[in-house]
Structure 1
Amino acid sequence: MLYELVGIARVSTMQEVRDIMRTMGEIIIKTGGVVRRVDWLGRQFLPNVVGKHQQLHFAGHHFTMLFDSSIKTQRDIYELLRVDARMVRVTRINCAKNLKELAKFKQKPGMV
């Protein structure tokens, strides 16, 4: 199944953001999944102040990851990121539920 994970990491060093994305990628690959695309959207201000892990956040590093994996793997990644103190927000989107929908999925030019 094809999923897109959208996350906002707290404002800190870029090394922490890379570590988060690398860990997610390693989990997906080790469980037989495929990472299709990883995009870092930059450091942006949040539309509202977000309270998470007993801190207030005004900005964050936004990123997305498009990947194929089993349902169990994407649930494990989501649960891992929900409790990670470096993450402000995380959500997942199911892009294709079956092979017919997956065949209709087309990548935009310039995407790897």
Structure 2
Amino acid sequence: MLYELVGIARVNTMSEVRDIVRTAGTMITNSGGVVRNANFLGRQFLPHVMGVHQQLHFAGNHFHMMFDSNPKVQNDIYSLLKSDPRMIRITIVNRGKDLVSLTKKHRPAPSV
């Protein structure tokens, strides 16, 4: 299954974001999955003050990752990152079974 992970980490250092992405990527590859890409989207202000792990956050380091894995690994990654005190928010979305099904589903209509 193809999954898309979008996360917001605390604003401290880039090494924390790198470590979070490396941990998730290692879990995926050790279980036989594939990391398609990982992008750092930059430091951005949050749309509203977010309180998590007994702290208030006004800005965060945003990142994006696409990966293939089985549902159990996806659930393990979500549980691990949700409990990580360096993370503010985490979202994982199922994008489809594979890239071929995605291209068929979102193919533009032929022009006449």
| TM-score normalised per structure 1 | 0.89
What code does the residue aligned with 2:86 have? Answer: R
Q: Which runs of 5+ in 1 are unaligned?
A: 107-112
What code does the residue aligned with 1:62 have? Answer: H
Aligned residues: 103
SS of equivalent residue, structure 2 residue 82: helix
Cα distance in structure 1, aligned partners of 2:11 and 2:93: 24
What code does the residue aligned with 1:93 have? Answer: V
Shift of 1:70: 0.4
1:104 is the counterpart of 2:81: no
Match of 1:42 in 2: 42
Match of 2:77 in 1: 77
Specify the structure having the higher radius of gyration (Cα).
2
Match of 2:61 in 1: 61
Match of 2:30 in 1: 30
The CA RMSD over aligned residues, in Å, is 1.0
SS of equivalent residue, structure 1 residue 105: helix
What code does the residue aligned with 2:91 have? Answer: T
Q: Which runs of 5+ in 2 are unaligned?
A: 104-112
Cα distance in structure 1, aligned partners of 2:12 and 2:76: 24
Residues 13-57 of structure 1, C-alpha deviations (whole Å, 9 max, x = no match):
100110000000000000000000101000000000000000000
4+ runs of 1 displaced by more than 6 Å?
Answer: none
What code does the residue aligned with 2:101 have? Answer: K
SS of equivalent residue, structure 2 residue 6: strand
Shift of 1:103: 1.0
